[in-house]
Amino acid sequence: MTRKLFFVFLLFLNTLFISGQRPEADVFKLKKGNLVIQPILHGTLAFQYEGNVIYVDPYGGAEAFAGIAKPNLILITDIHGDHLNENTLDTLKTEGIKIVVPQAVADQISEKYHSQLVILANGEHSKQLGIGIEAIPMYNLPESADAKHVKGRGNGYLLQIGKKKVYISGDTADIVEMRELKDIDIAFVCMNLPYTMNIEQAASAVLDFKPKVVYPYHYRGNPDMSDTEAFKKLVNEQNPEIDVRLRNWYPEY
């Protein structure tokens, strides 16, 4: 996908959100209150737990977050405009909150945000708002210097929220670091070529690390990879115990 087409795609995503309705939030009961998960758009989502609100890869402008409390923490996975989107950051109330990023994002984000950054390399850990955060590799296969996502540039994230382990894949292929994850309660797994992986690769990886609940997300691009029903079938034919939750990250009109 050329740079011009990529930005046309971002405009398309924004138009989808403005015209449509976001899916309802899911609620997971924890010993200390509830974990609320709100799909937003494409690779963007929000968590609420114990009065704290976390935005992941905020995109879509302030209107994408209408009715959602302002964030206490932001996680950004990569440098592409559907993950690092300063137009959206500039419209949100982010003053004084921490923004967890990989170094590549820190290198590109405006200086006005530098004092808020928590920079994590792959494998590094942080604790924010009582939530454990581990940066997980995300990259394309086969590895190459001209890949759309090279190893070490971006971060997936593994969150410890209460007793729940939540995995956010970011933009990645079916890498060994994903396949070797253990005891994941909730996972968000991407699938769109040529940026990440196809449905079969995503299903294969999920069957290896066996999350209790998995949401396919970030699943449209070039070519269209939106057949999440096929993904669910591939997973549940081999492991019916995995709860594959299909949500409409791209409202239709």
Return per-residue pLDDT of the chain as tens, 253 residues.
Answer: 444 434 433 443 443 344 457 889 999 999 888 999 999 999 999 999 999 999 999 999 998 999 999 999 999 999 999 999 999 999 998 999 999 999 999 999 999 999 999 999 999 999 999 999 999 999 999 999 989 999 999 999 999 999 999 999 999 999 999 999 999 999 999 998 888 999 999 999 999 999 999 999 999 877 777 789 999 999 999 999 999 999 999 865 2
CATH class name, domain 3-244: alpha beta
Written as one letter, the residue type at 7 is F
Domain regions of the chain by residue span? 3-244
Report phi then psi at 187, rounded to 5: -130, 145
Written as one letter, the residue type at 176 is V
Residue 27 burial (C-beta neighbours within 10 Å; 0-12, 13-18, 19+): exposed
Contact 135, 154 (CB under 8 A): no
The pLDDT mean for the chain works out to 90
Look up the pTM and report it. 0.90
Q: Are strands 213-217 and 52-56 parallel, antiparallel or unpaired?
A: unpaired
b vs e for 87-110, b when ≥16 Cβ sit within 10 Å of the residue's Cβ? Answer: ebbebbebeebbbbbbebbbeebe
pLDDT tens for 15-68 read 334 445 788 999 999 988 899 999 999 999 999 999 999 999 999 999 899 999
